[in-house]
Each structure stands twice: as structure tokens, then as C-alpha cells.
Chains A and B, each alone.
Chain A
Amino acid sequence: MLGKLLKYEIPALGRKLVPLFIAWAATAVMIGILVGPAQAKSSFMMILSVLIYIVVGTAIFVMTVIMIIQRYKNSLLGDEAYFNMVLPVSASAHIANKLISALIWIILTAVTAFLTVLIITSFDQGFLDFNIDWKALFESLNAKTVVAGLEWILIFLASFTKTVMQIYTAITIGHQAKQHVTLMSIGAYIGILIAEGLVSRLLLAVFPAMFRTSVNSFEDARIILLPALATVLIFSAVYFFICKFLMEKKLNL
């Protein structure tokens, strides 16, 4: 059933986000043209273009997050829940569906951001003077750096997972209230952050060696990375089960 849910969920977010990504790409083209080879680096146009790019990029990232939150709230706790929550589908599948589609769209947002930079740099020595030597970059890669890169991608994904699950949990807790649901959700989110901070401090106190903050070598970095990854995944799992419990036992539509 998860596959069927994803079949509808991914396009549901896409219908709002794809037009934003297209607008972002169009902005990149416009900036590329504006700060093309003819423009001096310190020109007013250059500063304006950087500002426009930052504002548009930030707005699109914020919009992505808002859409992800809205989809969860409307379809599992709002009016659409009167249809979705009577489907023969488990609460776990519903939560996993929202989480996977959120991660897919977060990744696509990052890919679009990267593509917009490529678009701008393709207009030659313009914006930020990006002259990427792709050949040298690929030649510098070896097994160690590739593994390290993949590990960092993994930890970024795990961190996004945790953040998305924190938000979903806060919304689900907030929805237990009959009134002031948004306020309750914000309160729950702050509560979650405080609780997680306390648990993290406790872990640092109990296992100081596993959570070192100084790195002297590549191996050191991995020693820090793996416990951090495990911790992030455990927190994500805890949030997932809180959501599942509330949806199965305390649904309040």
C-alpha cells in the first residue's frame, strides 16, 4: 500500500513545487544574462543579482518546507483525513509515505539549487566567477573521499529525516488539542527540541569518547560521524513511533 500512497503523494507535492522550481530556473537564466561577460564584477547589477538569487532561493526553500507541513496537516489531520484515514492502510504506511515524499522533494530542491548555480555559471565568468574545473575535481576523487562524501550525504539525509519527523510529531501532538492547534504544535515543537537537547547532553556526558568534537584525521571524522548518524536515526525512529501511536490510539478528527 505504501507504493500506492506514494503514487499519489509525490505528484500532489510536485504540482505545487515544480512550478516554483521552473520559476527558480528562469530566475537563474535571467541572472546569467544580466551578469554575463559584459558586466563588471562590482557592478550594481552583480549585487542586485546576488540578492535576487538569495531571496528567491530562500523563498523556494521556505515554500518547500511549508508545502511539506501543509500536506501532512491537511491530508492526515485536516478535512482530507476523513478520506485518507479510512483507507485500508496502516498509520505507519501513512507516515512513511509523507516522510519519503518530503525527503524526495527536499533532495529535488537541493538538486534544483545546484542546477541553478550551473545555469548561472554557464553564462561564463559571471555570477561569483564560478569557473569549476570538473576534470580536476573528478581526478582528485579517490575511494576515501567518495566514501566520506557518501557518509556525509547519508548524515544530511538522516538529519532531514529527523527534522521532518520532529515537525510531523509536533503537528500530531498539537492536533490533540481541540483549540489553538497551531499554537499547541509550535509549543510541542519547542518541547521536542528541549527534550532532544537534554537527551543529547546526557549522551555526551555518558559517552564522551563517541561524541568528540575535534577531528585530527579522516578516521577521526568517521568515528564522530557514525555515532552521530546512529543517534539521529534513533531520534527519528522515536518520533516516528510517537506519531504512529497518536494516529492509532489518539486520533482526534
Chain B
Amino acid sequence: MSKIEISGLTRRFGNITALDGVTLNIDEGRIVGLLGPNGSGKTTLLKIMNGLLTPTEGSIRINGFEPGIETHKIVAFLPDRNALPDYMSTDKLIRLYQDFFEDFDRTRAEAMIDDLGIDRSQELKKMSKGTKEKLQLCLVMARDAEVYLLDEPIGGVDPATRDYILRTIISNYNENAVVIISTHLIADIESVLDDVIFIREGKIILHEQADTIREEKGANIDQLFREVFRC
């Protein structure tokens, strides 16, 4: 049984089909790049995996469960926006995570937050956009989760922080976990990926191991992406 099993997943918004019969199996121990241009269905897929959106058709199972309380216990989700209460300070947010997630490692969170120079007494609303993103990622990655779903984790941060974040992702996830990173900044994350999924207009057009792509197609993932999604 794969860690994540998706079968015939379709989501329509009126006349628009955001996801069109997506079928995927993702095994544990993989870092997967969910890659596609804007509006291709990446965020919709991640929302459905988190139970934030219900599918029109099809099914999805994580560790054998449909999205719900059981999956929320083992899935760490980084959304594409600030979702934390902005009146809370970093220290209070750490306590909030600790209260609700049994797999949250406070020491790890504090170490990451200190590494990135985030003021623990400062309220979220007083932080810059980039600092908010960094903090949110630190809290998510400080969980000892079985599945990490990261929606644009490096979109709004500087290149030096990107390197730190990618190192954090590699060093903090356990080898039995799955990490899915949705982004269109491929060159930055290419080196950490085990598998690559290309998604276009709600359909999966490629699901392959990163090494296979490099060997068989003779191109890196960024080059292949530019070729496949050429406007």
C-alpha cells in the first residue's frame, strides 16, 4: 500500500475543471516535486489532500484514511498564504502547535527559529512577509510528520534563506515520510527531489523519478519543464 493513493480525482468549479481524473500513488521515503505553471491545479490538489476542499469525483487516501482527523494527525501542511493568527507572537504560536500536534518537536522549532534570527517575542502582524513565511515553514517542519505538503515554500524568501529551507526540509524529514513540494521555482529545488510530477490543466502529464528523467531524457528537470510548458 502506498502512503498516498489518489484515484480518478476530479474537481470542478462551475464550468472549470481544476483537476481532471488525477490518479497517483506516492510511496514513503520520497521527496516529490509537484510542478506546473500557475493555475495548473497544484494548490487544488494539495487542498483536497488536506480536506480543505472536497473532490467532485474520485478518492484520496493517506495512510489508508480519507482526509480528516486521522490524516491531520500525520500530515504537516504549509499553505500558500499566512494562515496563523497574526496577533500571536512566535512563542505563543510554538505553544499553539505544541498543544495541538503530538508530533511537534519544540526544541527543533526553537532551533530553526533562532537560526533564522526570528524574534520570538514579536507578533506575527509586525513581521515582514518573508519572515512570516519562514516562521510558518519552521513550525511545519518541526513536526515529526509522516507526510509534508508544502505549497510554494520558497516563493517569497531570499536565495540564502531558500538554501536554508531546502537543507531544513532534507535534514528534518524522516526517511519514512513523504514530502510533496509544490512550486514553479524548479531550479532551486531540483537537487533535493527524488520524484517529479508535472501537472497541466488539472492532468498529470508526467510522474517519474528525477534520476530517470536526467538519464533518459538527457536534460535536467528545469530544462524539461521549460520544454514541456513552453508558451
Contact = CB atoms under 8 A, between A and B. Distances in A.
Contacts of A7: 99
Interface string B36-79: 00000000000100111110000000000000111011010101
Interface residues of A, number: 26
B83 A83 contact: yes
Interface in A213-253: 248-253
Contacts of A79: 81-83
A250 to B, nearest CB: 6
B83 A251 contact: no
Contact of A15 (B52, B73, B75, B87): B87
B117 interface: no
A54 interface: no
A152 interface: no
A80 interface: yes
A250 B100 CA distance: 24
A87 interface: yes
A80 B83 contact: yes
A144 interface: no
B156 to A, nearest CB: 15
B101 interface: yes
B52 A178 contact: no
Interface in B79-94: 79, 81-85, 87
A81 B69 contact: no
A86 B52 contact: yes
A89 to B, nearest CB: 7
Interface of B: 13-14, 47, 50-54, 68-70, 72-73, 75, 77, 79, 81-85, 87, 96, 99-101
Interface of A: 1, 4, 7-8, 12, 15, 75, 79-90, 178, 248-253
18 contacts: A4-B99, A4-B100, A7-B99, A12-B85, A15-B87, A79-B82, A82-B77, A83-B85, A85-B50, A86-B51, A88-B73, A89-B69, A89-B72, A178-B14, A249-B54, A251-B52, A252-B53, A253-B47
Given A79-B81, A83-B83, A86-B50, 10 more contacts: A7-B99, A12-B87, A75-B85, A80-B85, A83-B79, A87-B72, A178-B14, A249-B54, A251-B54, A252-B53
